[in-house]
Amino acid sequence: MTSLILYNELYVNKTIKMSTILEMQIDELQEELTAIKAINQKLQLEKNALKEQLILSGVINWVAIKDDLPTKDDDYLVCEDGFVFDAGYSKEYKGFHDHITTRYKDVTHWAELPKPPCL
């Protein structure tokens, strides 16, 4: 009976030690996760600032067709099958065209035409 009690005490002590180790590991992981979240938030802010700088510096701001369409009939840069070219946009038909007969059906992205260089 004594050996059974000793065995139970050893088992309980081992279980408590394992539980303590696991709790410490969980605490460490939670601290790491908090640090990673803080870094991620900082990187997100930096990414947004860089994106804003790119937009303001005249870099083309592509818009996915699935996200938005132009709000006015005008000429735009479009991307279709990896090729970039200018095309007209029709609000009436909600699509891009070549100003004559062709309607472009596979356009994936569009962007405002860049401003001409200062002369």
Q: How is the chain split into domains, by residue range?
A: 1-59, 63-112
Whether the CB-CB separation of 105 and 95 falls below 8 Å is answered with yes
Amino acid identity of residue 50, one-letter, is L
Query: Is the pTM value of this prediction over 0.85?
Result: no
Q: Tens digits of per-residue pLDDT, 65-118?
A: 999 999 999 999 999 988 999 999 999 888 999 988 888 999 999 999 887 777
3-class SS at 72?
coil
| Greater pLDDT, 96 or 21 | 96
Nearest alpha carbon to residue 88 among 109, 66, 103, 108: 103
